[in-house]
Amino acid sequence: MTSETGRLDGIPLIPRDALFGNPERAAVQISPDGRHLSWLAPLDGVLNVWVAPADDPSAGRPVTRDTSRGIQAYFWTYRPDTLVYLRDAGGDEDFHLFAVPVAGGEARDLTPYEHTTAQVTGISHRHPDTLLVGMNDRDAQWHDLYRVDLATGERELVEENTDQIAGYLADADYVLRYAQRARPDGGQDVLLRGEDGWELSETIPFEDALSTELMGLTDDGQTLYLLDSRGRDTTGLYAVPTAGGERTLVHEDPRADVAAILAHPRTGEVEAAGVTYLRREWHVVHEPVAEDLERLESMGPGEAVVTSRTLDDRTWLVEYSAAEEPAVYHRYDRDTGRLTELFRGRPALEGAPLVPMTPLELTARDGRTLVSYLSVPAHVAGETGLPTEPVPLVLMVHGGPWWRDAYGYDDWTQWLANRGYAVLQVNFRGSTGFGKDFTNAGDAQWGQAMHDDLVDAVEWAVGAGVTTAGQVGIYGASYGGYAALAGLTFTPELFACAVDIVGPSNLATLLETVPPYWASFFEQLARRVGDPRTEEGRALLRERSPLTHAERIARPLLIGQGANDPRVKRAESDQIVEAMTSRGIPVTYVLFPDEGHGFHRPENTKAFHAIAEGFLAQHLGGRVEPIGQDLAGSSTEVLQGADGVPGLAEALAGHQAELRV
């Protein structure tokens, strides 16, 4: 690889801090009345909410003062000058809902109850001073519904959830109209509110449960929008008259599900529907927005997303990005058609050697099409999207698994490509977005056909000259972490190394310890993964668990785990590490005591990627930015195998000395 490395050295090294540190700005929004702009930005190194007058973005100031993990999600209410945000503690996912006045004052916890996860169910311009919020403080499994006063925090019970309701749908006056309830077979009942309580309206079979969803009501309550895959494969968008009558198909696509909508902020009427097959495409439903969407599409070869709109619908906030360009935020004036650039999310990456992403249609061994994405290092970029010569490859596996990879900017992908690796992202069977048949083909196929799709993609990459056998690593989080462990146990010679982030190693203990508020989803898990309540199911879970086959591991493994993860408990990583070390199999195990399901504090994100970079370079041969001070400020604990990553032991010694000071 001498000549290749030499040519790679001509490509500037992108600092990890520019990729994984705090963005300069993120989640830019405009208030419903159009008076304020808001965004997330660092305050003393921690992401907080900032607000500025809409006509003077330079006058932004922080309105929250979080000093821990930072704020990940917020939104405006219709109460003047009031926004709300969600925050958990140390990654435990017990998200509390806080209200904060932008004029100044302390944030108010609207859900001040222990072990409670807030679910915002209703927000309406007709009732600006209150929200509908689900809380599970009475019963950890089921959320009761409350109307919460934004100014005082007082809550009024709307409905005690004694019917095991998985979700409610209210109209603009906060009147409950529909609900969904899990069925014993893994499907769902759709309930309609009648004079005497909830009545069964229709059923959603198990095979449609992941692709059929009540989207919302129009402001007048006369139309229900529904994503529905019943009687078809891909999900279609339907408009259903609530007073009775025939439903209308709004949009469909035989290649992929309708997965996004653009709705008027006041009327709630759907104006456009989005479908993502290889790239996202918008279909105009309401002609007045056609010109607007055309104008946004002309911004460039990437994708424009409308992130917020004023209630009068005259001003939109638009986020534009492409695979090789991080988010750029614009204000769009519909009256004049003028687009004004406001902020760049990561200006430190402007001019950096970011690489494009090429959509692919690969073929699995049984003929299924696997929509995939390939990104290659800049020094071997070819006109077709394939590299001009083979390079080491990282197979990046998405989580879920009921999720999908899609086109767009991705910090992991750009980091790896800049270090000299091709990156292949595969939508294996079980992924969502490509019709229910493709999703359901993954049922009971963890470690089997789902893994075979990944193996087929690797074999394609070798055959196409993207890489060579023996130069492929596998990397992923959550289900992707499971896939990394499965790669080392079910196909122990295929991958040169693996990185597992919060991945389950024992499927039985995974299902035995899911959060209590996942009760409505448990039957889905049991049928799609394996049922721990039956002998046959337990045997399946045992066979498909990497822990069962730990003795097969023959290639290097790096594990990252959040100690407070409520989904994939720390025990999942502890078990596989113990099984390996008891057999004398080397493993590097990194624990973050203040993280949960994935790493959110930028100090921890940078620390883990610094370790992973050295690990991958040792086994795949890419280039490395030294760990240096990238452990500073993090909670990094290396419980096993620090000597398995060059420079890690020395960096840890310095980090521990810093902590002692």
92 is catalytic: no
Query: What pLDDT is attached to residue 195?
Result: 87
CB 284 within 8 A of CB 297: no
Nearest to 136 by CA among 94, 90, 74, 79: 94
pLDDT tens-place string over residues 1-10? 444 556 898 9
Q: Tokens standing for 345?
A: 């999310």
Query: What pLDDT is attached to residue 172?
Result: 97
Residue ranges of alpha helices (H) inside 529-625 are 535-543, 570-581, 602-620
Half-sphere exposure of 449 (CA within 13 A, CB side): 19
pLDDT under 70: residue ranges of the chain: 1-6, 657-661
Any idea what DSSP says for residue 73?
A: E
What pTM was estimated for this model as a whole? Answer: 0.96
CB 470 within 8 A of CB 393: no
Q: Give backbone dihedrals phi and psi of 44, rounded to 5 degrees, phi first.
A: 55, 40
SS3 letters for 203-268?
EECHHHCCCCEEEEECCCCCEEEEEECCCCCCCEEEEEECCCCCCEEEECCCCCCEEEEEECCCCC
Distance CA 419, CA 261 (A): 37
Which is the catalytic residue, given 453, 565, 594, 630? 565
Distances (CA, A) of 213 to 24, 131, 249, 360: 35, 22, 15, 29
Query: What pLDDT is attached to residue 2?
Result: 43
Give 221: exposed, middle or buried? Use CB within 10 Å, 0-12, 13-18, 19+: middle
In sequence order, which residues have a C-beta less than 8 Å from that of residue 579 and are 6 or more positions away?
A: 547, 550, 551
Q: Tokens standing for 261?
A: 């909508």
Sheet of 176-182: strands edge to edge?
A: 165-170, 176-182, 188-194, 197-204
Query: What pLDDT is attached to residue 105?
Result: 82
Query: What pLDDT is attached to residue 6?
Result: 60
CB neighbourhood size of 524 (10 A): 19
Query: What pLDDT is attached to residue 660?
Result: 56
Which pairs with CB-CB distance under 8 Å and at least 24 residues apart come from 236-240?
Answer: 237/261, 237/270, 237/273, 239/270
Which is the catalytic residue, given 478, 520, 545, 573? 478
Which is the catalytic residue, given 379, 451, 549, 597? 597
Residue ranges of alpha helices (H) inside 268-394 are 290-297
Distance CA 190, CA 200 (A): 6
Angle between helix 411-418 and helix 602-620 axes, rounded to 10 deg: 40
> What rounded mean pLDDT belongs to the chain?
96
Region for residue 134 given its phi and psi (left: phi exceeds 0; alpha: psi -120 to 50; beta: otherwise): beta
Q: Tokens standing for 36?
A: 């304020």
Query: What pLDDT is attached to residue 656?
Result: 78
Residue ranges of alpha helices (H) inside 320-427 are 411-418
pLDDT tens-place string over residues 484-511? 999 999 999 999 999 999 999 999 999 9
Q: What is the largest CA-CA distance in the chain?
A: 77
597 is catalytic: yes
CB 150 within 8 A of CB 130: yes
